[in-house]
Homo-oligomer: A and B are copies of this chain.
């Protein structure tokens, strides 16, 4: 029955992750045909959309790899309680919100003198990493919600890797105040870094 409880939580979370990651595409707008009368003009119009694509790809991998790590920790978490469900809802709230800063960043990526959009974008990732860290700390503290025969070696390895999560996203957030493209690139690199499981 405990197993089944996290099963439900995981299924609902999977659904939210899948919808949120797909809604990102709604940010990409197609140029109107009336204004673009030649192939050359259309290519040019599409190439000017690269900030939208860069933001789309970064957010896609960030959500996708957050889903991956969500599942990694839920292979260890076997029980749920009200606090875990609420922390998970807060994490999903942040995930669902990601398309908004993504669109904002895409619109302001080329305005090098403005940093508000990048700060909000990196700030959302920082909140996401923090919520995920709290979820794992809460569930794993003294093995609270883990299985009885959990691999403590694996738990410590996850602890080690995730300890750096909020810290690394804090650096990403700090970069956003100075240089928007560098912060975006660093965010993409972080997503890929967290795709690799910690050495166990």
Task: List the interface of chain A (C-beta within 8 A of B).
Answer: 1, 4, 8, 10-12, 14-26, 28, 30, 32-33, 38-39, 42-43, 46, 56-57, 60-61, 64-65, 67-68, 71, 75, 82, 85-86, 89, 92-93, 96-97, 99-100, 103-104, 107-108, 111, 114-117, 120, 195-197
Nearest-Cβ distance from residue A31 to partner chain B, whole angstroms: 8
The reply to whether B25 and A23 contact each other, CB–CB distance below 8 Å, is: yes
A25 touches B57 (CB 8 A): no
Bound Cα distance from A32 to B104, whole angstroms: 9
With A86-B195, A117-B42: A96-B24 Cβ-Cβ less than 8 Å: yes
| Complex CA–CA separation, A93 to B5 (angstroms) | 25
Contact status A21-B26, CB under 8 Å: no
Q: Chain A's interface: helix, strand, loop or mixed, by majority?
A: helix
Which of B19, B21, B33, B97 is the one whose CB lies under 8 Å from A107?
A: B33
Contact A18 B21 (CB under 8 A): no
- Minimum C-beta distance from A87 to chain B (A): 11
Please provide the 9 A-B residue pairs with the shortest distance between their CB atoms, ordered closest to farther: A15-B18, A19-B22, A42-B116, A33-B107, A64-B89, A30-B103, A39-B116, A16-B18, A28-B100
Residues of chain B within 8 A of A18, CB atoms compared: 12, 15-16, 18-19
Query: How distant is the Cα of A26 from the Cα of B23 in the complex, in angstroms?
Result: 9
The docked-state distance in angstroms from the alpha carbon of A75 to that of B108 is 45
